[in-house]
Structure 1
């Protein structure tokens, strides 16, 4: 097999899944992650469809089941915490034959990471500073000053991909902003005391909370912003200030949640955007997951589809016996049309993602009450099906 030594930039969901399958298929992957440890934080995600199929092939379903949030229902509340609408999540699971979890992104990434062969080299606390391709491979200089040679390089480093910037150009060429910002963080020593996922809205803004256990609650915030905001991607203090200014006067539990923001250890804040590229590869460098085709929070499928893309990329490299030209082309041929459909579907959802009026909030609450009826649950869940994609056995 040719081109066995492959560097993966990013130890998130896409990167860890790719490392798992490359090792499984006889390659020698190395991972580099800018963070000193696995990243924490991120939204709760619905885990189903083709991503569930990949996880099943990896043998990690029991581990994922152990970290399933498994909340009873989604409840929409008013400023006095009175229920105004709800959806029975357990009925949805039954409809999906139990092949669905709700997971925190960090828990999913950790489970995948723990499943990787112990022989896989993982470099934490470093990142790629320079990339030079030659006839034989890719020469990489790390931020630490070390240099290494690899046969191939895969960027699995998310929406703000460093590899994409170094090889393909500035992010602005590929990013499509959809008018929202999102944030999440976990607060200790506070609990809602139930097993529901509570959601509160005012026009243009949404807050969700769920108690992970009796001493911990995770909060999720989304707000609309017609224009992109000015802040540095790594300026956490500025991001917290923005979030406070948006929500402190919004009522319900917002002020209490935000009063504890400075003690959290898993703060996350980012825009809601998609990444659209003509090609996901260039010579010996390829992109996987959000780095190449981020479908955004609007899709509800970013993490699971990152796993699917990683599986297909690794599988095509195996099938081509390491011939990267053939494998990269086939990877894009198989998966790009499907991802473009998912991105388009998410775009159509953008305008109604967060209700923009009191009437819109009322109408949404009424619609979700109908979800208790099986016929409406089936219609709702059809958007999460991965029809049109059949995973190959590599």
Structure 2
């Protein structure tokens, strides 16, 4: 029995309708920007395996750090205990996060990082004697698959069966430079009707929505209004964090900094799962009390796992290295050159870029998980490039170690897509 057949017997894959797509592709090896299947065929991982392996797969530097930590301390409960990798990671993270961040809570993935951010916003007001039970979010945002994270997400394809159980959420459109006054009035109206506890947003780029982008200056008025109304601002940097937007964090480009920041994915460089939620001292102080009930009682068994912390520390060191920073600049420049080349192609509806994130919309009507989307996916895989279209949106978010030749192959496959579909 093949690996594909054995997989089909027991495994339930994410975001998969198994009746339509019963088989998964076996990958047996990965190195740098490349994946290898069981027949030895190689594929360029042009999406960094869901934006995680930004320093390349099986990075020797990260493997060495993980191996060293495994021999010292593998796991210890983080309630009442601490260890050097967690403390050092807290110090290294605070050194590169926006200056207003002061405390962090370890968790285990992006959904729970945002779940904790939402709970921080809601319980902050509960602890300070305010009755605020409504969250604010952008339309078409995506913040994860746990119940609170789904509540604030606006993509109904993921949420449908659970909407009756959601917390109360009000939604505003993305700012575009022309609708800010209207959005600010919406926020005022929402707040009068049902006081808003928090505003969760993906800064600059909405990932799952199709890499939709907006400008920093267009969101600053919204964040300022939230500050005025004491609405806790929660930046979901699970996708955007750790260099992808051209700075360490997308929030670096925005003058008004968030109260809470949610991190995961590239945090641990695609090696092991981990999430972190950070906050200001003001947020933390609202939970600091003689009343035990005012504590944030949220825990994960693997919170602060020493191996995950060691991996995250190695990733930060790589991110800050001259080599990776130069690679990021090179990829940004290659994207700009490719955009200029194809921007007037009749099959291209629009192109956008933020840092190493590149996206184009095909001038073709497509369902998010429809047949045409899968045909394009399979076409790219046959050509040796792993791209994962989001409906009519095709995006590139390749590892920072992707070579120029590999990037040129990705662009060549996209040219073929434009001619073939």
TM-score (ref. length: structure 2):
0.28
Q: TM-score normalised to the size of structure 1?
A: 0.29
The structure with the greater share of residues assigned to strand is: 1
